[in-house]
A and B are shown apart, each in its own frame.
Chain A
Amino acid sequence: MGYDPENPMADRITDIGPPHYSKFHPPVIAKNKGKWLWHEITQPGVLVHKAESGDECWTVRVGAARLISTQLIYEMCDIADAHCDGYLRFTTRNNVEFMVDDKAKVQPLLDDLASRSNKFPVGGTGAGVTNIVHTQGWVHCHTPATDASGVVKAVMDELFDYFVTMKLPAQVRIALACCLNMCGAVHASDIAILGVHRKPPMIDHSRITGVCELPLAIASCPLGAVKPAKAEVDGKTIKTVKVNNDRCMYCGNCYTMCPAMPLADPEGDGIAILVGGKVSNSRSAPKFSKLVIPFLPNTPPRWPETVEAVKNILETYAGDARKYERIGEWAERIGWEKFFEKCNIPFTIKSVDDYRLAYETWRTTTQFKYTNAIK
């Protein structure tokens, strides 16, 4: 049996969806679903959930790279088989959670995890830095302006202490998207690392006829910067497109629709830093991340400028914010002018919005603070 290429439609199964989640609940979860009373973090990376029945579910949270191999997943399964009755789960932030039903089983699990070199760091809870959610970058994407896995590894190595402790004023959510399409939806993160292009696309007139549907390429541009044009190729006039460079914001949408319009560039591409977003409705409404550093160069393998920028913002916040304050709440309380001064980040015209709906971000009050920006 198996797939028969001669007869691909025979016995075909479609539209069956995922397995029912209840098949994968550990027994303590299945028994107490909907009847939990409270939960608490007992040490970094370890949570206990108490049920009405008196049962306890102890969870050990472990950080992982987002790009992982089947070999590593088999090893996770070995751990779950040895300690967790053969169940485990993943969080929305690429952490792995191993659950046991008795406090006495926690330490043996922690010891096992610690014995496997640095593969399973325990942490990512409470007022710390949890795992960075990110996109594919140079590992697998056609429009990235930077790598993802490499930058994240470099940043997490430097911030590792904040993953395994809970000493910050509040949780800090860091996210990375490798271009401004933001597959990773970094637009509501405490600190967002965003790949940006800075050069308009090139146009490969010799390829465009074969690989590209011109009306689609033209329609793909959000700013109407791609226009029909003609060009000479091998002495013949062909239909092609041109790009109004003044209107281009380097989003790469045209390249997605038309492979003859590549825009990536080693000098043009790099990283912008945005801060102060949040998703939770706790205390204040959700907030967007705001652009504070418009460009840092791509410097593989360890992106020292980006690592330093993230660490500087994180530690300035850690030293100045009040308990419970997220980065965005802190910046709003002290004022963005103070944010730039305290973080020692040079303010540039690039942080002043000139896109749609920009006016909402302009200051229309005489209230301001004197900082070193006023000479």
Chain B
Amino acid sequence: MGMSDEEIQAAMIEKATKSPKAQLYIKDFYKCDPDTKPRMIKNLANDLVKKGELMFWSSGSTTMYARPDRIKNEEGDSGVN
């Protein structure tokens, strides 16, 4: 049996909380369930953003994910997201 969406999302939150890196690439989440297609993982990660569990951070060219309380930003006002 594969993991449910909720289980995968819980694993993603845990990874974003405990990882030594605060900001994660989408690929870092693939390992939360290697049996799930990357595109599904991406959808689950973006859904967590919608739920406020993760936030986006962008360099302009690359986008990353982080827990809202772990994001590093010079101005500290990425709170719009």
Please list the residues of chain A having a beta carbon within 8 angstroms of any beta carbon in chain B. Answer: 181, 210-213, 215-216, 256-257, 259
**A213 close to B61 (CB less than 8 A):** no
Please list the residues of chain B having a beta carbon within 8 angstroms of any beta carbon in chain A. Answer: 20-23, 59-61, 64, 72-74
Q: Contacts A215-B21, A216-B21, A216-B23 known; A210 to B72 CB distance under 8 Å?
A: yes
Residues in B with CB closer than 8 Å to A211 are: 72-74
Given the complex of chains A and B, what is the CA–CA distance between A119 and B21 in angstroms? 51
**A212 close to B61 (CB less than 8 A):** no
Instruction: List 13 contacting pairs A-B, 8 Å CB cutoff, sorted by A.
Output: A210-B72, A211-B73, A211-B74, A212-B72, A213-B21, A213-B23, A215-B20, A216-B64, A256-B59, A256-B60, A256-B61, A257-B59, A259-B74
A356: min CB distance to chain B, Å: 21
B57: min CB distance to chain A, Å: 9
Residues in B with CB closer than 8 Å to A210 are: 72
Closest A residue to B71 by beta carbon equals A213
Given the complex of chains A and B, what is the CA–CA distance between A70 and B20 in angstroms? 46
Closest 6 CB pairs of A and B: A256-B59, A211-B74, A259-B74, A213-B23, A215-B21, A257-B59
Q: Contacts A256-B60, A256-B61, A257-B59 known; A213 to B74 CB distance under 8 Å?
A: no
Residues in B with CB closer than 8 Å to A216 are: 21, 23, 64
**A213 close to B72 (CB less than 8 A):** yes
Given the complex of chains A and B, what is the CA–CA distance between A191 and B60 in angstroms? 27
Given contact pairs A212-B72, A256-B61, enumerate 12 new A-B contacts (beta carbons under 8 Å): A181-B61, A210-B72, A211-B72, A211-B73, A213-B22, A213-B23, A213-B72, A215-B20, A215-B21, A216-B23, A256-B59, A256-B60
